[in-house]
Amino acid sequence: MPKNIYLDNQSTTKIDSDVLEAMLPYFSEKYGNASSSEHIFGWESNDGIEEARVTIANSIKAKPEDIIFTSGATESNNMLIRGLIDYSADQPVHVITTETEHKCILEALKRNAPFIEFTIIPVTTEGIVDIDAIRKAIRKNTVLVSVIFANNEIGSINPIKEIGKICLEHSIAFHTDAAQAMGKLDINVDEYHIDFLSASAHKIYGPKGVGLLYIRRTKGKCKIIPLMFGGGQENGIRSGTLNTPGIIGFAKAIKKSEEEFETRFWKYLSLRNHLYYSLIERFSFIQLNGTNIESIDLLKSKYSSAREASKHIQRLPNNLNISFNGIPSLELMKNIKTIAVSSGAACSSNKQEASHVLQALQLSNLLIHSSIRFGIGHQNTIEEIEETISKFGLTLEKYI
């Protein structure tokens, strides 16, 4: 029986065993509703949640009371964009965003027209947002700039700190979708002038169905209206019984990502770089999509730690996105069924649809339909990478 290899960690990740273990008591004996303030079952759940809130807030240098738990980054992004609408205002608000956002930002904006006007800023051919274009797009009614921290398809990391500074200078709120960045890159909401931030547990070895929206409330630059009304949980911003096991798991996953930051970071880079260099050595027609592959030696000589290095890199350490010069990626994947990767031709849904992110890089359709994304996880081994190189090698040889 051939062993399956999972290299689709930008899509979702395998839950860590100690994350699962931390969650289990909250499914069985600690099942109280965190809002039940009259008995021990409620207190127990509430204590767990508040402790989790502190752990998660500390990891991005936020105040615990500014963390709102949601069902995931999709909900957080919708909560912010849809919450911006002030139906009583006679003027629509204006939002600036980019071509390479996750669909949930772009679709939420489109659904909210005509209450929201928006400008979509182009990106460079490497997938980095053009800062000058942001400056030029600012209008009198601009209330929010929303820029993805690190892209889920091509791994490009945007200049978050500089964008935050521009927003601060213009008193515009700044949101970043950090679903891919949290746990892998350094995040500091004060230093980067972030007012809103979305994240999701299942992208960092936590459970599916739990995420957060960070909302800077002191000196907050724009208010949002809740998506859901009811019991008034989460300061009235997100009603509904809290997902206690999920939140406990989210905090444990964040804690582990901090404890293992150094080892995971260098491991991602070393496996990713080995995969890339081995493939291009044999198949020089392979084209890299997104920003450069950074050298480990160079990063180690320049920066004292993985955390320091993570502030300066321009590509997620565990992301590789390459095009195979017209060889259809879906055909390649059919031939290598035991290796789970994702294709730029079908990544947003089950329909065969060219990725809007790769289109934003001005890639030809031929290159988009021959693109594959490899997302490395900390559980992957060098043996699995060697097997991936060998299997892709054997299949690619049939085409040349």
Ligand X SMILES: *Cc1c(COP(=O)(O)O)cnc(C)c1O
**Which residues does the annotation mark as catalytic?**
347
**102 lies in the site for ligand X, by CB under 6 A:** yes
CB of 349 to ligand X, least distance (A): 13
> Which are the contacts of 35, defined by CB distance < 8 A and separation ≥ 6?
42, 46, 231, 233, 241, 242
**200 lies in the site for ligand X, by CB under 6 A:** yes
Q: Which is nearer to ligand X, 46 or 98 (CB)?
A: 98
CB of 70 to ligand X, least distance (A): 8
How far apart CA 293 and CA 338 sit, in angstroms, is 26
Note whether 161 and 186 are within 8 A (CB): no
Q: Which is nearer to ligand X, 152 or 370 (CB)?
A: 152
CB of 153 to ligand X, least distance (A): 9
Which 3 state secondary structure label does DSSP give 2?
Answer: coil
Which 3 state secondary structure label does DSSP give 182?
Answer: strand
Number of residues that bind ligand X (CB under 6 A): 13
How far apart CA 238 and CA 231 sit, in angstroms, is 9
**22 lies in the site for ligand X, by CB under 6 A:** no
Which 3 state secondary structure label does DSSP give 297?
Answer: helix
> Which are the contacts of 297, defined by CB distance < 8 A and separation ≥ 6?
none
**73 lies in the site for ligand X, by CB under 6 A:** yes
CB of 76 to ligand X, least distance (A): 8
- Rg for the chain (alpha carbons), in Å? 21
**8 lies in the site for ligand X, by CB under 6 A:** no
Q: Which of 44, 177, 234, 384 lies at the binding interface for ligand X (CB under 6 A)?
A: 177
Stretch near ligand X under the rule CB under 6 A, chosen from 78-86, 172-180, 275-283, 367-375: 172-180
**72 lies in the site for ligand X, by CB under 6 A:** yes
**180 lies in the site for ligand X, by CB under 6 A:** yes
Task: Extract the tokens encoding 215.
Answer: 């909302």
Q: Which is nearer to ligand X, 151 or 371 (CB)?
A: 151
**145 lies in the site for ligand X, by CB under 6 A:** no
Written in H, E and C, the secondary structure of 57-86 is HHHCCCCHHHEEEECCHHHHHHHHHHHCCC
**212 lies in the site for ligand X, by CB under 6 A:** no
CB of 347 to ligand X, least distance (A): 11
Cβ-closest residue to ligand X?
72
Run of H or E residues at 373: strand 371-375
> Which are the contacts of 349, defined by CB distance < 8 A and separation ≥ 6?
none
**74 lies in the site for ligand X, by CB under 6 A:** yes
Q: Which is nearer to ligand X, 154 or 299 (CB)?
A: 154
Q: Which is nearer to ligand X, 164 or 211 (CB)?
A: 211
CB of 93 to ligand X, least distance (A): 22
What does each C-alpha distance from 324 to 266, 272, 321, 330, 334 come to in angstroms? 27, 17, 10, 11, 15
Note whether 305 and 298 are within 8 A (CB): no
Task: Extract the tokens encoding 286.
Answer: 């392979």
How far apart CA 248 and CA 85 sit, in angstroms, is 32
Q: Which is nearer to ligand X, 32 or 249 (CB)?
A: 249
Stretch near ligand X under the rule CB under 6 A, chosen from 35-43, 67-75, 231-239, 295-303: 67-75
- Tell me which residues touch ligand X (CB under 6 A): 72-74, 102, 104, 148, 152, 177, 179-180, 200, 203, 211
